[in-house]
Amino acid sequence: MFTGIITDQGEVLSVDQKGDLTVRIATSYALSTIDLGASIACDGVCLTVTATGTDPDGRGWFQVDISAETVSKTNIGSQGWPLGKHLNLERALRVGDELGGHIVSGHVDGVAEIVGLHDDGDSTRITLRAPDTLARYIASKGSVALNGTSLTVNEVDGSAFGINVIPHTKAVTTWGQVVLGDRVNLEIDTLARYVARLQDWT
Look up the CATH number of the domain holding residue 84. 2.40.30.20
145, part of any domain: yes
Query: Which one, of 53, 14, 17, lies nearest residue 36 by Cα?
Result: 53
14, part of any domain: yes
105, part of any domain: no
142 phi/psi in degrees, rounded to 5: -85, 180
What is the longest distance spanned by two Cα atoms in the chain?
Answer: 59
Q: Among residues 58, 91, 124, which one ends one of the domains?
A: 91
Residue 115 sits in the same domain as residue 195:
yes
Domain range for residue 155? 110-200
pLDDT along the chain (202 residues), means of 10: 95 93 97 97 98 94 96 93 97 79 91 97 97 93 96 97 97 97 94 69 64
99 phi/psi in degrees, rounded to 5: -95, 85
Contact assessment for residue 9 and residue 87, using Cβ atoms and an 8 Å cutoff:
yes
Contact assessment for residue 26 and residue 61, using Cβ atoms and an 8 Å cutoff:
yes
Query: Which one, of 69, 65, 33, 60, lies nearest residue 48 by Cα?
Result: 65
Q: Among residues 24, 57, 91, which one ends one of the domains?
A: 91
Residue 59 sits in the same domain as residue 14:
yes
Domain count, the chain: 2
22, part of any domain: yes
How much is the pTM?
0.93
